[in-house]
Amino acid sequence: MLDCSFRTPKKPTLKALPIVGILRVANIILRVVARVFFGVLPWRKNWQPKRILVHRYGNVGDVVVAVPALAALRLRFPNAYIVLLTSPGSEKWNLPGAKEILAHSDVVDEIWCYYLEDIHESKRRRRLIERIRRGRFDLLVALNNERQPLRKQVREMVFFRLCGIRRAIGWEVVHPPDCFRRWARKMEFLPQTLRLLRLIRRLRVDERTAIKSAARFLRGSDADASWAETVVAQLRVRGRKVIGLHPGGKTAVQKWPLERWEELARRVKKTGFRILVLGGDTDREWCERIRPYCDGEMFIKLPFGRLIELTRRLDVLVSHDTGLAHIAAALGTPLVAIYSGRNYRYKWDPFGCGRIRVIRADNIDCEGCFLSDCPTHRCMREIDVDRVVTAVGELCACVE
């Protein structure tokens, strides 16, 4: 049975009340500025904008957590022409983004991609403004990044007003100031998927239906689905479960120690499960180290269509805090996510309608450090293999 429930975050402690106050004041300022620039939304229940521009920038995880919000807009306004304005960063970085992930999806009608250079260079910025002006959009939906400060959000409002946008919704300050980091570590935050859905709640969207519909809108091509079905069918002999291991991570501090991955693969294989190893170019060395403990199936840098369809058919995926973990959560694939203490608690937890087990170390005094590397790596070393093996076994027992 699908379960979209989520425990409401605890109320902040007394020490965290200044943080709550600062965030509330910042959001009041945002609402006032938005009211000045864009007025108020029509309150008619039958209001149907014909052209909607959605702004969401980022890479794999940033795009995937926004898919339920995009699905909510598609279901709420089925006849609208929806354009996603997105950026994977700089042209030099050559990072994947919405164009690769949503290549075969009909959740949006068109994807407009820009780069940091289009904002920093005046000629390219003017071309981008003119392109948005020609779009003649009735509504802008701003699904801002969770660490975007107040000044950048106000600057973004000014930019879109110059683009001729007359109605807009979105924007929210959720990241506490760094000077309050010690107290913010004790706070609990909404997962990004829920936060983005609640940004557009005034449009009367159905959050539960949107979360359940994310798997339908996140997909590969028919050829990708056929390929993935063949791969999994070859491994699923005599009803054996297929487990995916993804040891990659964006930063070193987000990675569980390699020897723990090797031990996990050895113990999971002993139970009779079949194992797939998944990773990107930068994960090749770790994948090669794990491969001898598995069934020899290793896929490096799969096209996103194949990766999505393969993940959809796994019985369980074990991953760090990665884009693939959010893909599995959106698809409803049972997920064991091994999380470091780099971010604030629950802020980037995977959220979806599948069974999800997030494993993290408790009582870490340096939680929310936002480091890329750590000399002690305590938050990951305190997670033992037994906890992960137990979680995998529990999820496999629930899979029919």
pLDDT tens digits, 264-305: 999 998 888 889 999 988 888 999 999 887 765 789 889 999
> 358 is written with which tokens?
């997030």
Q: List all residues 6 or more positions away from 338 whose beta carbon is below 8 Å from its beta carbon.
A: 256, 318, 319, 320, 321, 359, 360, 380, 383, 388
* Bigger pLDDT: 242 vs 46: 242
> 300 is written with which tokens?
């490096």
Residue 3 predicted with pLDDT over 70: no
pLDDT at 282: 87
The whole model's pTM is what?
Answer: 0.93
pLDDT interval class at 345 (50, 70, 90): confident
* Bigger pLDDT: 249 vs 157: 157
Number of neighbouring beta carbons within 10 Å of residue 110:
11
Region 319-342: mean pLDDT is 94
Region 338-357: mean pLDDT is 89
In a 3-state reduction of DSSP, which class is residue 133?
A: helix
pLDDT at 294: 77
Domains of the chain: 14-217 (3.40.50.2000), 222-398 (3.40.50.2000)
Region 335-340: mean pLDDT is 95
pLDDT at 180: 78
Q: How many CA atoms lie within 13 A of 216 on its CB side?
A: 12
Region 355-384: mean pLDDT is 86
Give how far Cα 259 sits from Cα of 159, 163, 243, 293, 346, Å.
49, 53, 18, 12, 26
Return the beta strands (E) in 228-355 as ranges. 242-246, 274-279, 297-300, 316-319, 335-338
CA 156/CA 144 separation, integer angstroms: 10
Do 217 and 66 touch, CB atoms closer than 8 A?
no
Residue 65 predicted with pLDDT over 90: yes
CA 96/CA 64 separation, integer angstroms: 12
CA 75/CA 80 separation, integer angstroms: 10
pLDDT at 364: 79
Q: What is the C-alpha end-to-end distance of the chain, expressed in Å?
A: 11
pLDDT at 5: 44
pLDDT at 7: 52
pLDDT at 344: 86
pLDDT at 11: 62
> What digits encode the pLDDT tens for the residues 231-268?
999 888 767 899 999 999 888 889 999 999 999 999 99
Burial of 378 (C-beta count, 10 Å sphere; 0-12/13-18/19+): middle
Query: How would you list the strands of the sheet with 335-338, edge to edge?
Result: 297-300, 274-279, 242-246, 316-319, 335-338, 356-359
Q: Among 59-63, 136-140, 158-162, 266-270, where is mean pLDDT lowest?
A: 266-270
> What digits encode the pLDDT tens for the residues 80-133?
999 999 999 999 988 999 999 999 999 999 999 999 999 999 999 999 999 999
The residue length of the chain stands at: 400
pLDDT at 2: 44
> 360 is written with which tokens?
């993290």
Residue 379 predicted with pLDDT over 80: yes
pLDDT interval class at 359 (50, 70, 90): very high
Residue 361 predicted with pLDDT over 90: no
Mean pLDDT of the chain: 90
pLDDT at 1: 38
